[in-house]
Structures are given as C-alpha cells and as structure tokens.
Amino acid sequence: MLPSLPMPEASDVVRSTRSSFIGPFTELRVEVFGVEEMQRDIMTDGDGNFSFPLAGMIAAAGKTPDVVAGEIREKLMHRYVRDPQVSVNFKSTSNPLALQSMSVTVDGQVNKSGSYPVVGRMTLMRAVALAGGLNEFAKLEDVVVFRNIGNKQFVGIYNLEGIRRGNYADPEIFPNDVVIVGDSPQRREYKEILRAAPAFLSPLVLLAREF
C-alpha cells in the first residue's frame, strides 16, 4: 500500500486534453446554418451555462462542443426551426491549450454525474461539489479515485466523513482522474479491501494494474 496517490506526470495530464470540454467563462462560436440571426459569439457564465435564441438556457459545462450542438439542434427542432444544422466551436485563441478544458469525471451516487473542467487547484470535496453533491443514498465511506500514470493505474479509497472531521487532508484531484462515489462496478472490484479498511482514519492507496 502507498501513503498517497502519486502525482501525475505532465505527459499524463496532456493526454487528458484529447477531448475538449466546455467550462466556466468559455468563449464559443455558435452558428445555425442559413439563419443569420442565430450566428453569434457567446461566453458561458460561471457555471458553464449560456442562453441561446429559441433554445433557452444550455447547460454546457463538462460537455464537448459537438454534444452541445446536438442539444441545441434538438431544442430548435421543437421550436419550428426545420432541420437546423448547428455548429459549436471554441473561439480562436493564440494559446492552443486554452481551448482544452482539462477535466475530471465524477460518477456514482452524486446528483449530476459527468465530466467537469479542472480550473485551478481541485480537491476531492470540490469535485464532488461540482457534481451537485451527494445524493440521499450516497455512502460517505466509499469514495474511490482512479488515476493513470504512465502504464499504471492507481486507486485511492477515501472516506468523506473522515476528511470532514480532519482525520486527513482533502486530497488533490488532477485532470484525467475518475472519482466514483458509493456503489459502482469499479468499486466492487475492491469490495474485500473496503470491508477490511474503510479509510476513515487514513486513505488506502493501491496499485490496481499495469497496462
């Protein structure tokens, strides 16, 4: 067992930017082919949302531009726009990495599972909060973080109540991490370990596998 999850290398973080995700205060170009008044530059708000004519409020945080374009198209089809062809793109920038919102995935017993941009320093408690917090069935003692470093996958097992009580520090979360709260197929792989060590007084960190 390890004392803490190893920090990722720069190459591991860069690898996570293959998919570009929309985040807070992201500049986008949204166009509906053939409809001039629906071609505009917009900026998402602090929650990663924006408003678009006839489509209403679009919750874009943690989604790719293609996914958001599909959602706008679906809404416009119900607003008497015949066969709308929608495109959503990041606005041009001199810094290519600014187009890449590095993200963490949060799943399991949270209110809004999905991928969320990592802006500044991210911790486990903050990642759970971004996913809308815990749902009513969530198990505070069963939080698993998966992290790939090179050709190895590490798993950290945490107890949110232990963190809240100050038993140990709120661990830092990095781009490309996967956070699973409560029951999930991934967590079940480690059920024997969880039963023996609930991670209340200290986290449990293991090398899960090598690729």
pLDDT in tens, 169-210: 999 999 889 999 987 666 666 666 566 556 778 888 888 888
10-17+100-210 to CATH, choices 3.10.560.10, 3.30.70.1050, 3.30.1600.10, 3.80.30.20: 3.10.560.10
* Residue 29 predicted with pLDDT over 70: yes
Burial degree of 189 (CB within 10 A; 0-12, 13-18, 19+): middle
Q: What is the pTM of this model?
A: 0.62
Query: What residue segments make up the domains of the chain, in order of their start?
Result: 10-17+100-210, 21-98
Q: Quick one: pLDDT at residue 96?
A: 42
**Mean pLDDT within 33-54:** 89
Question: Average per-residue pLDDT in the chain?
Answer: 82
**What integer pLDDT is reported at residue 82 of this predicted model?**
82
For domain 21-98, the CATH superfamily is wza like domain (3.30.1950.10)
Structure tokens at 158: 């945490």
pLDDT at 124 > cutoff 80: yes
Q: Which residue has the higher pLDDT, 128 or 201?
A: 128
End-to-end CA distance of the chain: 19
Give yes or no for a contact between 130 and 114, defined as CB atoms under 8 angstroms apart: no
Secondary structure class of 102 (helix, strand, coil): coil
54: left (phi over 0), alpha (psi -120 to 50) or beta: left
pLDDT above 50 for 95? no
Q: What is the average per-residue pLDDT within 145-150?
A: 91
pLDDT of amino acid 72: 95
Q: What is the pLDDT of residues 47-85, one digit of tens each?
A: 789 999 999 999 987 788 999 999 999 999 887 778 899
Mention every residue, 6+ apart, whose C-beta is less than 8 A from residue 187: 108, 142, 144, 180, 194
- Sequence-distant (≥ 6) Cβ neighbours of residue 160 within 8 angstroms: 124, 125, 128, 134, 140, 141, 143
